[in-house]
Every structure is written in C-alpha cells, then in structure tokens.
Structure 1
C-alpha cells in the first residue's frame, strides 16, 4: 500500500519575501545599534540580545516545523509500521530454532 506524498512546499515568492524581511530587520537592528547615542557597553548588550533573538527564532521555527511534520498522517503511518515490525520481531526465536 503506497501512501500519497502530501508535501506542502513553499513558493519561491514566499521564500524570497521571508528572506528579504529577515535581512531588512537584521540590518535595521545593526543600524540602530551602530547609530543610537549609546555607550559601548549598551551597544554590546543590544548586539548580544539581538544575536540571541535571531538564534532563538531559528530554533523556535525548527521546533514548530518538526512538531507539525510529526503530526502528519504519513509519519504516523510509518511509526505504526515500525512499531508493528518491532512487536513481531523475536530475536530469540531464530536462536532457539538454530540450536534445536
């Protein structure tokens, strides 16, 4: 029994829009850090917070994607097949048959 692949692919336009929005917002953050009238330690704090925000955003996006991917029917069917195979497999059955 074959299961249809129901993969949802993003369009090139959506990918481009997302990449441009990320680039513009990151450049805006860097511009603000460089040109705000702040002391050096305040600039470094904002830079550290900005880099942490960017890295945690990527981590959150990956987690959300993985959770959504794990809930698809295809993945659940594959997990059920693997569970069935593991339950049917008895490693001692072949050993006891060979020793008799």
Structure 2
C-alpha cells in the first residue's frame, strides 16, 4: 500500500509536545490558584473548582471522541477503496488487486 495515498498521521515534534503539556499545566495551575485566592466563601470556591475539573474532563473526553470518529472514518474509507479496487481488478485484468 502507498502511505501517501492513505495519508498517515504526521508525528509531532518534541517541542510541540512539550509546549502542549506546558500550556496545559500552566493554565490549570493559574486557574486553580485564582480560585483558591478568590475572596469569596468556600462553597463558591468549591463550585468553581468542580466546574474546572468537569470542564477539563469533558474536554479530554470530547477530544478523544472526535479523534476516534476521525480514525474510524479513515479506516472505513480505506476499506471502501480496497473493495472498489478489487471490483475494478475483477472487471479489468490490467489492474492488480491489493
């Protein structure tokens, strides 16, 4: 099979991975510190903290779901293309099957 034809996912550089994790840690830390030092009653801080945790959790779940859907679409497209090539090769003997 031709990798260019099916578009394999590009790998990320170490710099990009580091920047991504650093930005995640800094944003969560800054928001958490902001909630802790907010001059309000403790129940409000708890509510904001829970909101932060649920937001992070749902963001992770959403990104995983979107990635899984895209990967399944790629696999289905590859299967459909292989079926089409097989049908065409049976019709025209000059095309070699996969």
TM-score, normalised by the number of residues in structure 2: 0.69
Structure of greater Rg: 1
SS in 2 for 1:9: coil
**Partner Cα distance (1:38, 1:14) in 2:** 37
**Partner Cα distance (1:31, 1:69) in 2:** 37
Q: Does 1:53 align with 2:55?
A: yes
- 1:15 to partner: Cα distance: 1.0
TM-score, normalised by the number of residues in structure 1: 0.68
Q: Identify the residue that residue 27 of structure 1 maps to in structure 2.
A: 29
**Partner Cα distance (2:10, 2:20) in 1:** 17
Between 1 and 2, higher relative CO (CA 8 Å, sep ≥ 6) is seen in 1
How many residues of Structure 1 are paired with residues of Structure 2 in the alignment? 79
Structure 1 alignment gaps of length 5 or more: 82-100
Structure 2 alignment gaps of length 5 or more: 83-98
**Partner Cα distance (2:28, 2:19) in 1:** 14
**CA gap 1:71/1:8 in 2 versus in 1, 3 angstroms:** farther
SS in 1 for 2:10: coil
**Partner Cα distance (1:21, 1:67) in 2:** 26
